[in-house]
Amino acid sequence: MKAVIDYLKDIFFGLKTLVTGMRVTGRYFISPGEIITQKYPENRDQLKMFDRYKGEVIMPHDGNNQHHCTGCGICQINCPNGSIEIVTRKEMSPEGKEIRVIDKHIYHLDMCTFCALCVKTCPSNALAFGHDFENAVFDKAKLTKILNKPGSSLKKEVK
């Protein structure tokens, strides 16, 4: 007898949770609020990604082709799978100090897990996430990107 009562309780509980879920779904079906689903690829021209979207890692440059990256290598050290490489050289500053200058800031998109450790740990906020998400290519070499633009330099106020 107890087994029958427990069985009926389980059926009632299952039906109750089903009705609860269907109520939420039915409410959105009858009067949808903010529609989050996007009709991709038909809306490719007006598609806007959310601000918190984590696309590929980028290095923002200003209008004078200057960036914030000092080449310290903290992003390279913190990357768990080695998707960032920094190639630097030493130069003499006008004050006579030896400074590190970036030759290449290499980003391997095919190895990145988008964990954000490089962006979070950068002391000069030189890295950010872009909103580009169409990264399907036939050649794997196209997924290796140089983040610093040709002829770019470090901003004067960044130390």
At 83 the pLDDT is 95
Percent residues over pLDDT 70 in the chain: 98
Q: Which of 59-73, 85-99, 118-132 has the lowest mean pLDDT?
A: 85-99
- Residue 2 in this model has a pLDDT that exceeds 80: yes
Domain limits, the chain: 1-37, 57-154
The CA distance from 72 to 122, in Å, is 9
DSSP conformation letters of 58-82: E----TTSEE------HHHHH-TT-
At 62 the pLDDT is 92
Which runs of consecutive H residues, i.e. helices, occur in the chain? 2-30, 74-78, 117-121
- Contacts with 103 (C-beta within 8 Å, 6 or more apart), sequence order: 87, 88, 89
At 42 the pLDDT is 85
Tokens of 18: 């089903």
The CA distance from 5 to 73, in Å, is 65
Q: Which fold has domain 57-154?
A: Alpha-Beta Plaits (3.30.70)
For the full predicted model, state whether its pTM sits above 0.85: no
